[in-house]
């Protein structure tokens, strides 16, 4: 049972989440032979002020 947790800086639309979930699920089915019904995906949207790269917050 694949479990995929996707963390994103900022927000994405419901439609974008649906497309991402569809494509990741199809990839796991095609490459790893995992049934679609066994694939779980969660989305975590992190505020830019709560994410840093290279020592700088993304909202800077």
SS3 (DSSP) at 54 = coil
In tens, the pLDDT along 13-24 reads: 999 999 999 999
Does 18 reside within a domain? yes
Distances (CA, A) of 20 to 14, 30, 42, 56: 10, 15, 11, 27
What is the model's pTM?
A: 0.86
Does 60 reside within a domain? no
Does 13 reside within a domain? yes
Average pLDDT over residues 46-57: 96
SS3 (DSSP) at 19 = helix
Residue 55: per-residue pLDDT: 96
Domain range for 42 is 1-55
CATH number at residue 20: 3.30.429.10
| Number of domains within the chain | 1
Tell me if 40 sits within 8 A of 1, measured CB to CB. Answer: yes
SS3 (DSSP) at 10 = coil
């Amino acid at each position: 049972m694949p479990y995929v947790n996707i963390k994103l800086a900022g927000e994405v639309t419901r439609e974008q989440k649906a497309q991402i979930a569809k494509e990741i699920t199809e990839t796991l089915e095609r490459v790893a032979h995992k049934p679609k019904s066994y694939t779980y995906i969660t989305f975590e949207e992190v505020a830019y002020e709560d994410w840093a790269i290279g020592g700088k917050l993304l909202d800077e």
